[in-house]
Amino acid sequence: MKRIVIFASGSGSNAENLIRFFQNSDLGSVTQVLTNNPHAKVLDRCKRLDIPAFSFNRQAFSKSENVLNLLKIAQPDLIVLAGFLWKFPEFILKEFENKVINIHPALLPKYGGKGMYGMHVHNAVVENKESETGITIHYVNENYDEGAIIFQAKCSILPSDSAEDVASKIHQLEFEHFPKVVEKLLGTEALEVPLKY
């Protein structure tokens, strides 16, 4: 069985969707969830779903090897960022090369970079009167939202759509595609090869 470790910062709806998707899978399962927010709702979800979950601070994540050592023990085949807001340290990326992926709520390279997450993205998309947006699943490198793109899915934006309407459409795309792309990645023999889905 392949092992998935999820990093999340907030509510954890995508994390829960992934956990539930892989509960009945022969291919892999979510073995633990890590968060940089000790009050994140994702911790409550994990407790309910009986998934080990831990919170950590910036010191443990990027100034020491505490989180890295936790990952070495967990030996994940894939590290999945699901609404995780901190930049990943290079020394962790080096240890798990091409095994860290992220989901972004826009069609990268548009609306990416520092500070572009959640409603910040959807507000910008609506303010710029975009006719479409979507999700991007990509490998994580040392820069925000610049890793190789694995998969994108689009949805149209109506002139009457609010940022909340866009958020709802993006959420549907995330729920539909994220688990399937993770499953496909786990099923490929060499995760090192960027996958075009």
Please identify every residue annotated as catalytic.
Answer: 104
Beta carbons within 8 Å of 87's beta carbon, 6+ residues apart: 114, 142, 144
Residue 145: which of 112, 103, 178, 107 has the closest Cα? 112
Instruction: Give strand pairing partners of 53.
Output: 33
User: Can you read off the two tokens belonging to residue 131?
Assistant: 């006719």
Q: How far is CA 71 from the centre of its chain?
A: 16
One-letter amino acid identity for 180? K
DSSP secondary structure of 100-155: EEEEESS-TTTT-STT--HHHHHHHHHHTT-SEEEEEEEE--SSTT-SPEEEEEEE
**Which residue blocks in the chain are alpha helix, DSSP H?**
13-23, 41-49, 58, 66-74, 90-95, 118-127, 163-187
